[in-house]
């Protein structure tokens, strides 16, 4: 007795290769064509007529795809009412077997997944989603990587049409087979499934290949479901290649399909870039990262002397925790969105993409403050700790310090020596200075109060000149209060001095690194800012605001692909973080992408995009509806010059530009746009002056200068060529610095050289 039939249809069975819940696989011989084959007999749909027809229909669809990384399907048939598949017989082993021997090096793992992605690309082009990617369905054969098992594959239209997308029916036999450790969130929740679901599963496999453990852990299906739906896999660390793969994996495993790569080719392109990096042969390490949001505290009774603490104390706690390598902290701006009433933890976990929430209530009692805080897991609501504190108002800083340490200890966050030093570094010298600091921070939430906040910041550093966070906030207030009004070079220098003082007091202060970037850029020191941010990000990679700053600086340096990648990384760390990627898309000439990215932005960028897309009337109306107030004189001249150009009022546009450029206008990118507008109006001399000034101030975004048609009237001028050569030289210097400081590995991009 062999334990298997002698033949199935015209195929002579020669052995049994394996058996599972869905069916059994035999080796067989095709006597008609005299070749060995593998034959899979499907068992689950034997008594289900509709299931049998569905299986045969889907197998026919899969058979249409011919690709070297897809196991060839030779034939389909039925035997005794049970369907079977006939496939090429492969020599080698499943990926699942290889994984039992431990993790892989980056080159081996990436090469395998590139083959899988190539197969997926072919399937997706034929509108087929595999839906069951897992290591046992990837075969490492002597002929290369082969994708197997299309038992769950299903035709599907483009993901843009959700009505036609395939959905998992959890009651369908085989819809979730075994433990679904590689299923996408939409598969588990019964939502429409498209090609991006396969990319999630492919990324889950790649994580396991590198880390030696599965991306989503759990001892039961419920625990695994929870991890897939709400938790992020640990981060990979080690070599530059490992860090680049980590960024790619976390994007591919976004809970929302819109946040992932939109097709297999896009994911493959980024992985190919990894293979060009150095140290790809180093092994990777994994570390778990928590994502925390500190919500505004709730005042139990209104009190004008302490109400400001409801926002300013959580913001101070957020700033203290930012920069830890094992913690991602959502910004206070993101937290402010959830300030009304008791939070819905499920909504909060989904919207803010967090797994831990700190909440609290405040109550003034004479000269004391009662604060009750809770640290809870989201979305489950499991209480991590609860703490009731009562302190004198003058001891608020000690309360902040206690809460920060409580978060670190309760989450068991591993701290480096530098991180321990950072947490203990900044303490105000006296209570009144800290009170001023918190009150000024509350005023900073609204730019209309910037002058009042500035005065409080000045008072704070006078009382305590050794408190680094106060110097950082003061620098921002000095810069912001002046940028759109008078444009004073002296105030800009004073802002720079304050930020440099903050970094002298504490070189690791994340807040200072965040706030210093626009000041450096406005001073014409974009290259210095680029170097500083890259060095800081190699130390602490979890600060969304630093990647947002890198988005800004890379654009100034003409590193446009890097700018977009930095924006993507910032949004991965904090989906609500604000970046200037709209302006990057404008520099790339992709005005629709800029418009889509900046729907809520009503500066000059949205009207510019509308105008460049031919929607001039809409652009003019938007400029009229959002005209800057008179006190922001520089901003008013800037927007009026552009609006007059669109309206065909040449004289008014030139007049506003002349007045703007004759004043203390210091915005390097603004000078570029003035040059662009004047060139469009064929005002050669002022256009050349404006472009030269932009480059002089450090705006060396060379690529759009070369290709923007608005500069065409200037291209015959020798002076224009000279300015372009200066911009190209500076751009190349920035590219060299970007490469030398590890920017390519940090962002996973390689910028083209400007040299010709």
Q: Which one, of 353, 314, 347, lies nearest residue 333 by Cα?
A: 314
Q: Which pLDDT value is given to residue 176?
A: 46
Residue 58 lies in a domain: yes
Q: Which pLDDT value is given to residue 202?
A: 96
Domain at 165, CATH number: 1.10.510.10
As a whole number of Å, the CA-based R_g of the chain is: 30
- Across the chain, mean pLDDT equals 84
H or E element: which one contains 8? strand 7-8
Domain at 331, CATH number: 3.40.50.11830
Tell whether 447 and 590 lie within a shared domain.
Answer: no
Kindly state the average pLDDT of the residues 529-558: 90
Q: Which pLDDT value is given to residue 158?
A: 41
Q: Which pLDDT value is given to residue 646?
A: 94
pLDDT tens track for 393-451: 778 878 888 888 888 888 888 777 777 777 766 778 778 888 888 888 888 877 778 88
Active site residue 169: no
Q: Which one, of 466, 51, 107, lies nearest residue 275 by Cα?
A: 107
Domain at 594, CATH number: 1.25.40
pLDDT tens track for 548-577: 999 999 999 999 999 999 998 888 778 778
Q: Where are the beta strands (DSSP E) in 393-459?
A: none
Number of H helices, E strands in the chain: 32, 21
**From CA 665, how far away is CA 653, in angstroms rounded?**
16
Q: Which pLDDT value is given to residue 727?
A: 95
Residue indicated by tokens 């001249």: 637
Q: Which pLDDT value is given to residue 130?
A: 86
Q: Which one, of 651, 718, 633, 704, lies nearest residue 673 by Cα?
A: 704
CB of 468 closer than 8 Å to CB of 512: yes
Tell whether 141 and 189 lie within a shared domain.
Answer: yes
Q: Which one, of 252, 259, 345, 256, lies nearest residue 295 by Cα?
A: 345
**From CA 582, how far away is CA 593, in angstroms rounded?**
8
pLDDT tens track for 247-257: 889 889 988 89
Residue 332 lies in a domain: yes
146 - beta bridge partners? 139
CB of 366 closer than 8 Å to CB of 396: no
pLDDT tens track for 591-635: 999 988 876 555 688 999 999 999 999 999 999 988 888 777 888
Per-residue burial over 715-748, b if 16 or more Cβ lie within 10 Å, else e, is eeeeebeebbebbbebbbebbebbeebbbbbbbb
Pairing of strands 356-365, 298-299: parallel
Tell whether 83 and 213 lie within a shared domain.
Answer: no
Whole domain around residue 706: which residue ranges? 560-747
CB of 14 closer than 8 Å to CB of 1: no
Residue 411 lies in a domain: yes
pLDDT confidence band for 163 (50 / 70 / 90): very low
Tell whether 380 and 509 lie within a shared domain.
Answer: yes
Tell whether 504 and 466 lie within a shared domain.
Answer: yes
Tell whether 582 and 731 lie within a shared domain.
Answer: yes
Among 23, 56, 88, identify where a domain stops: 88
Residue 538 lies in a domain: no
Domain at 78, CATH number: 3.30.200.20
pLDDT tens track for 193-228: 899 999 999 999 999 999 899 999 888 888 889 889
Residue 553 lies in a domain: no
Q: Which pLDDT value is given to residue 162?
A: 37
The DSSP call for residue 170 is T
Q: Which pLDDT value is given to residue 168?
A: 37
Sheet holding 11-19, edge to edge: 7-8, 11-19, 23-30, 35-42, 82-88, 73-79
Q: Say whether pLDDT at 169 is over 60.
A: no
Among 493, 518, 533, identify where a domain stops: 533
In this prediction, what percent of the chain has a pLDDT beyond 70? Answer: 90
Residue 48 lies in a domain: yes
**From CA 230, how far away is CA 482, in angstroms rounded?**
43
Q: Say whether pLDDT at 679 is over 80.
A: yes
Q: Model's pTM, two decimal places? A: 0.71
Q: Which pLDDT value is given to residue 584?
A: 95
Tell whether 477 and 609 lie within a shared domain.
Answer: no
Catalytically annotated residue among 30, 75, 132, 667: 132
Tell whether 215 and 251 lie within a shared domain.
Answer: yes
Tell whether 526 and 476 lie within a shared domain.
Answer: yes
Q: Provide the domain count of the chain.
A: 4
CB of 59 closer than 8 Å to CB of 39: no
Per-residue burial over 170-203, b if 16 or more Cβ lie within 10 Å, else e, is eebebbbbeebbbbbbbbbeeebbbbbbbbbbbb
pLDDT confidence band for 37 (50 / 70 / 90): very high
Residue 753 lies in a domain: no
Tell whether 451 and 430 lie within a shared domain.
Answer: yes
Tell whether 11 and 155 lie within a shared domain.
Answer: no
Among 287, 305, 322, identify where a domain stops: 287
Residue 551 lies in a domain: no
Tell whether 280 and 334 lie within a shared domain.
Answer: no
Kindly state the average pLDDT of the residues 357-372: 88
């Amino acid at each position: 007795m062999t334990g298997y039939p002698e033949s199935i249809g015209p195929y002579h069975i020669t052995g049994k290769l394996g058996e599972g819940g869905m069916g059994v696989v035999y080796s067989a011989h095709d006597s008609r064509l005299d070749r060995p084959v593998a034959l899979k007999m499907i068992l689950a749909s034997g008594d289900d007529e509709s299931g049998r027809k569905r299986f045969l229909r889907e197998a026919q669809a899969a058979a249409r795809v011919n690709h070297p990384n897809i196991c060839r399907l030779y034939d389909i048939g039925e035997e005794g009412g049970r369907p079977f598949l006939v496939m090429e017989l492969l020599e080698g082993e499943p990926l699942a077997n290889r994984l039992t021997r431990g993790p892989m090096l980056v080159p081996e793992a990436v090469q395998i997944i590139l083959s899988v992605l190539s197969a997926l690309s072919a399937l997706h082009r034929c509108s087929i989603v595999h839906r069951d990617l897992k290591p046992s369905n990837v075969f490492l054969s002597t002929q290369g990587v082969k994708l197997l098992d299309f038992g769950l594959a299903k035709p599907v239209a483009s993901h843009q049409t959700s009505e036609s997308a395939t959905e998992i029916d959890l009651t369908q036999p085989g819809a979730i087979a075994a433990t679904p450790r590689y299923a996408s969130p939409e598969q588990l929740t019964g939502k429409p499934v498209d090609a991006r679901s396969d990319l999630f599963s492919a990324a889950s496999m790649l994580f396991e290949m590198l880390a030696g453990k599965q991306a989503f852990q759990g001892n039961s299906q419920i625990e695994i479901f929870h991890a897939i739906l709400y938790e992020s896999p640990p981060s990979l660390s080690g070599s530059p290649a490992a860090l680049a793969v980590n960024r790619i994996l976390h994007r591919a495993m976004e809970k929302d399909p819109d946040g992932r790569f939109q097709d297999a080719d896009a994911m493959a392109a980024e992985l190919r870039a990894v293979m060009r990096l150095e140290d790809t042969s180093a092994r990777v390490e994994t570390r778990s990262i928590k994502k925390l949001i500190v919500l505004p505290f709730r005042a139990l009774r209104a009190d004008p002397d302490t109400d400001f603490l409801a926002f300013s104390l959580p913001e101070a706690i957020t700033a203290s925790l930012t920069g830890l390598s094992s913690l991602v902290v959502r910004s206070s701006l993101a937290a402010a969105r959830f300030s009304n009433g008791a939070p819905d933890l499920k909504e909060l976990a989904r919207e803010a993409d967090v797994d831990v929430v700190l909440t609290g209530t405040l109550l003034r009692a004479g000269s004391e403050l009662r604060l009750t805080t809770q640290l809870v897991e989201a979305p489950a609501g499991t209480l991590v700790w609860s703490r009731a504190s009562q302190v004198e108002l003058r001891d608020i800083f000690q309360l902040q310090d206690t809460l920060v340490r409580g978060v670190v200890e309760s989450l068991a966050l591993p701290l480096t020596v530098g991180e321990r030093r950072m947490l203990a570094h900044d303490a105000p010298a006296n209570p009144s200075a800290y009170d001023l600091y918190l009150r000024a921070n509350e005023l900073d939430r609204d730019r209309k109060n910037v002058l009042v906040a500035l005065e409080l910041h000045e008072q704070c550093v006078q009382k305590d000149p050794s408190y680094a966070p106060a110097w950082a906030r003061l620098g921002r207030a000095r810069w912001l209060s002046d940028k759109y009004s008078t444009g004073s070079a002296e105030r800009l220098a004073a802002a720079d001095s304050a930020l440099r003082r903050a970094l002298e007091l504490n070189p690791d202060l994340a807040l200072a690194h965040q706030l210093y970037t626009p000041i450096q850029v406005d001073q014409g020191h974009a290259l210095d800012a680029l170097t500083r941010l890259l060095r800081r990000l190699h130390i602490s990679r979890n600060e969304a605001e630093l990647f947002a700053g890198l988005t800004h600086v890379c654009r100034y340096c003409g590193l446009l692909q890097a700018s977009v990648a930095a924006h993507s990384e910032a949004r991965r760390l904090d989906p609500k973080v604000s970046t200037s990627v709209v302006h990057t898309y404008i520099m790339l000439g992709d005005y629709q992408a800029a418009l889509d990215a900046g729907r809520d932005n009503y500066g000059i960028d949205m009207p510019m995009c509308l105008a460049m897309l031919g929607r001039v009337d809409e652009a003019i109306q938007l400029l009229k509806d959002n005209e800057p107030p008179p006190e922001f004189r520089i901003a008013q001249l800037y927007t009026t010059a552009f609006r007059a150009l669109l309206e065909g009022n040449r004289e008014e546009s030139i007049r506003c530009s002349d007045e703007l450029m004759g004043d203390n206008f210091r915005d390097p990118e603004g000078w570029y746009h003035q040059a662009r507008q004047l060139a469009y109006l064929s005002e050669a001399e002022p256009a050349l002056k404006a472009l030269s000034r932009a480059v002089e101030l450090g705006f060396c975004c060379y690529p759009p200068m070369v290709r923007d048609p608005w500069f065409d009237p200037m291209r015959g001028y020798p002076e224009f060529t000279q300015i372009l050569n200066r911009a190209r030289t500076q751009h190349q210097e920035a590219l060299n610095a970007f490469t030398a400081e590890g920017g390519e590995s940090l962002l996973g991009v390689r910028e083209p050289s400007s040299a010709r």
